[in-house]
Amino acid sequence: MSSTERTVSLSFERSTTARFGTRVVAPPRVHPDPSAAEHAVRAARRAWEDRARQEYVGVLLMRHVHGLLVDVNAPMDVQEAALAFALEEQRHTAMCVDAARSLGSDGVLAFALPELQRRRRGALHEELLDQIVGLFVVSETVALDLLVFSLRSLPRSTYRDVLRAIARDEVGHARFGPALLGEIRASGAPWLPYPGDAAVAELARDHVARMRARDVVHEDERAMFADPALGAALRALGVPVANDFVRAYHRSLDVSVPAALARAGVVVEGAGG
């Protein structure tokens, strides 16, 4: 690991000792199309590295949430779910790194230092509720929608197989948040006092607003899809059409996030925008 003042570079490698640990799920083998243009390969490599970073940040978030759940003495099955999700995010990271390596990546990924530092920000119960809403109800809902969109829009390939493997886990992640929030809301759980629907909807609005402000695709990637040959090469390497991906992202924020809140029993106008 090497670091600078504001970024840290992590090397994602595999060892020969994994067989002594928990069950390891081998990722699908990935093979780039040899006819793909070099700049399409570079863009796809960057896309898979971006996915690997997102998945690894998910590992850190799940570990952080697990610590919060332990400290409030949440039900054991809830604690176990957070651990299971962290392991799944770890596997997703490895799969995305393998896909990036097949396109020439060295497996060394740079992170902004705050992405790797998960410090507690305030009152324990307030932070845990914020994570349940922001991570599980909002972010995981959007993540699943984008995977479903990608699977529907991409041609068959081993890269699409990687996304399908990740999506199988993300279904559970996306369902967990609304179910847990609904249980807390209905039961008055002593381990996490419920602050009321208006407070929860406000948390959701804040998270949605931050997600709306993100650049979810690279501008040069948008331009590449204007060339049919480059666009086809990118899609074959697991990268969906940029403008359609952005529309799916905002549609998820507008439609799926309010629906997830509603499944928890929280129905407040404007929760999606």
Q: In the sheet where 108-112 sits, what is the strand order?
A: 2-3, 7-11, 108-112
> How many Å apart are CA 221 and CA 239, to the nearest integer?
9
Report which secondary-structure segment, H or E, holds 113: helix 113-116
User: What's the whole-model pTM score?
Assistant: 0.88
The single-letter code of the amino acid at 50 is D
The confidence score (pLDDT) of residue 219 equals 92
Contact between 201 and 261 under an 8 Å Cβ cutoff? The reply is yes
Q: Which two tokens stand for residue 210?
A: 């931050």
Query: Per-residue pLDDT for the chain (273 aa), expressed as one digit of tens each?
Result: 444 458 888 787 776 555 544 554 455 566 666 666 888 999 999 999 999 999 999 999 999 999 999 999 999 999 999 999 999 999 999 999 999 999 999 999 999 888 888 777 778 999 999 999 999 999 999 999 999 999 999 999 999 999 999 999 999 999 999 999 999 999 878 899 999 999 999 999 999 999 999 999 999 999 999 999 999 999 999 999 999 999 999 999 999 999 999 999 998 665 454
Spatial CB neighbours of 198, under 8 Å, sequence gap ≥ 6:
268
Contact between 228 and 40 under an 8 Å Cβ cutoff? The reply is no
Q: Which residue, among 80, 77, 73, 81, has the nearest Cα to 190 in the 3D structure?
A: 73
Contact between 224 and 40 under an 8 Å Cβ cutoff? The reply is yes
Q: Which residue, among 186, 175, 114, has the nearest Cα to 140 in the 3D structure?
A: 175
Phi, psi of 239 (to 5 degrees): -115, 110
The single-letter code of the amino acid at 101 is R
Angstrom distances, CA of residue 173 to CA of 51, 88, 141, 167: 17, 10, 8, 10
Question: Hunting for tokens 């499944």 — which residue is that?
Answer: 263
Bridge partners (DSSP) of residue 9 are 2, 110
The confidence score (pLDDT) of residue 5 equals 57
Bridge partners (DSSP) of residue 108 are 11
* Strand boundaries in 61-183, DSSP class E: 108-112
> How many Å apart are CA 193 and CA 185, to the nearest integer?
8
> How many Å apart are CA 82 and CA 108, to the nearest integer?
27
Bridge partners (DSSP) of residue 8 are 3, 111
Angstrom distances, CA of residue 175 to CA of 6, 29, 185: 35, 29, 16
> How many Å apart are CA 248 and CA 262, to the nearest integer?
20
Residue-wise pLDDT tens digits, 23-36: 544 555 666 666 66
The confidence score (pLDDT) of residue 98 equals 93
The confidence score (pLDDT) of residue 188 equals 79
